[in-house]
Amino acid sequence: MKQALSLSPRLSLEDQQHLERIIRALPLLADVTHADSSIVGYDPRGEPVVLAHAPPASVPSLHTTSLVGRRYSGDRAALLQRLLSQGRRHAVVSGALVRGAPTMQEFFPILGPSGAVIGVLQSEMAMPEHQRQRKKSGELRRAIAQFRDLVLQGRVRGAERISRLKLHDGILVIDERGVIRYISAVAENMYLRLGYMENLVNTLLSDLDTNEYICFKAMEHGECLEQRIEEQDVIWIKKVIPLLRTGSGGWFRRRGANGNGCAGALIFIEDITDEVRKEQELKIKTAMIHEIHHRVKNNLQTIAALLRMQARRSSPEVAELLRQSVSRIQSIAVVHEFLSKDESRVINMHEVFNRIMNGIVQGTLDPDKHIQLHLDGTSEFLLPSQQATSCALIVNELLQNAVEHGYAGLDQGDIWVRLGQTPDSMCIEIEDNGSGLPEGFDVERDGGLGLQIVRTLVQEDLKGRFELENGVGVRIRITFPRRQFNERKAAVS
């Protein structure tokens, strides 16, 4: 619900507080009545305007945008002005068009503590929904009307604690003694799953072998309450709206009320069993995937350690080849380490590249040379796991090549890794200010294993482009299509 307009300073403090209580209950009223509910009052200049609007969550709203701030003209303006100035009890406009659809619109004056009209409740319902509501049990319709009266009187407490109602919630109406006066077909099916085969109308709620504590607590305290309950193999959220006695001599007053002035309750039951089960399965699956990535990372580190041992016992040429293999394995292990800790398969490569660069500084760079590695560009370079592994290998290979070959006869220099992205593509650029490549260098003819690996990963895995510029140093630019995925840290599906 959006409330953007301040209340008129012409209202007394008590009247403003009364309207604020009604506005807090407006979303719950919209859900219970299946109608767009809005409050029309006076703005600070004394003109009628929509102060608050709550679209229903239980059925589609009639409006695509909030009504807050709307000012009416013509017949609607005249009707609202009469209600605000004269306080007519109730007005109905049948068949009015909203976005081309016929609606039933009802208007209820809001009386402040002083008895003066301080606003109007405007209720708008699609005509097909109005026809469906007319066919509902009289007990339910009277309970809903009673709740609306309580909202208008500012007597609904705790409405903001109730989560939004759903179209397929089960509904019960109970009286002050806890006797079920109405139960919807959805609620009947819910209790049927618990073994209650008979019709529960006129049954005492306390006689059921179910957890009804929240219902009686809400009635005792006279405030809306909600509780998650496990019944056998199902999980429910019970939302209880106590129906306090009004002074109008309505249905609940005729039936009497308990000592606390509560004449019954509206109960909404949401079955979240499937949702919770899927969430539990997802958590188990996520934990298993994290464990798999953790084990892969450990196994890769073990392989790297074995290769290091082998390198110490090998000739310098073989040792160098083994060292390059260890570096590649470690770059893959870094990706799996991030996957083992993160709740998604989306990885921020800015952090991965930082780890790879630190590893090169500690394990490859000659400590006597002053070569600096820099990471520039966007700090949110997000990739799915498969692309992340390929990019980790690519950056590792290119940095290793730059360090080993670009500064063979130099004592200092800088290597930059730059990250960029557009809505359609991702870009990784690696540039150094070393000695550059030999004149006439051809990637396909003269490139070593490292460059062959890079080109294969770019073309085959990333479906991207590899560009090399040779001059004062070497600049390599890699671009590839951006995959569409949810960049928020979504759980593994």
Domain at 426, CATH number: 3.30.565.10
What is the rounded CA–CA span in Å between residue 192 and residue 198? Answer: 8
Same domain, 305 and 196: no
CATH of the domain at 95: 3.30.450.280
What is the rounded CA–CA span in Å between residue 28 and residue 35? Answer: 10
Same domain, 418 and 463: yes
Q: Token pair for residue 373? A: 């590695």
Give pTM, 2 decimals.
0.63
Query: Hey, what long-range contacts does 287-293 have (CB within 8 A, 24 or more apart)?
Result: 289/339, 289/492, 290/339, 290/340, 290/341, 291/340, 293/336, 293/337, 293/339, 293/340
Q: What pLDDT score was predicted for residue 294?
A: 72
State which residues form the domain around 22.
1-135
What is the rounded CA–CA span in Å between residue 242 and residue 170? Answer: 16
10 Å CB burial of residue 293 (0-12, 13-18, 19+) is buried
Same domain, 397 and 453: yes
Same domain, 1 and 125: yes
10 Å CB burial of residue 421 (0-12, 13-18, 19+) is middle
CATH of the domain at 245: 3.30.450.20
Among 244, 271, 298, which residue terminates a domain? 271
Query: Letter for the amino acid at 443?
Result: V
Same domain, 198 and 121: no
Residues in the chain where the model's pLDDT stays below 50: 4, 248-259, 486-493
Among 101, 135, 169, which residue terminates a domain? 135
Distances, alpha carbon 424 to alpha carbons 11, 174, 420, 462, in Å: 55, 58, 11, 13
pLDDT tens across 221-250, in order? 999 999 999 988 899 999 999 999 865 433
Residue 355 lies in a domain: no
Same domain, 40 and 126: yes
Same domain, 335 and 311: yes
What is the rounded CA–CA span in Å between residue 473 and residue 470? Answer: 6
Q: What pLDDT score was predicted for residue 13?
A: 87
Residue 204 lies in a domain: yes
Q: Token pair for residue 72? A: 């009416």
pLDDT tens across 87-118, in order? 666 767 777 778 778 888 898 989 888 888 88
- Find all residues with CB under 8 Å of 290, minimum gap 6, and list them: 339, 340, 341
Number of domains in the chain: 4
Strands 91-98 and 117-126, sheet pairing: unpaired
Residue 358 lies in a domain: no
DSSP secondary-structure letter at 380? -
Mapped onto helix, strand or coil, the DSSP state of residue 35 is coil
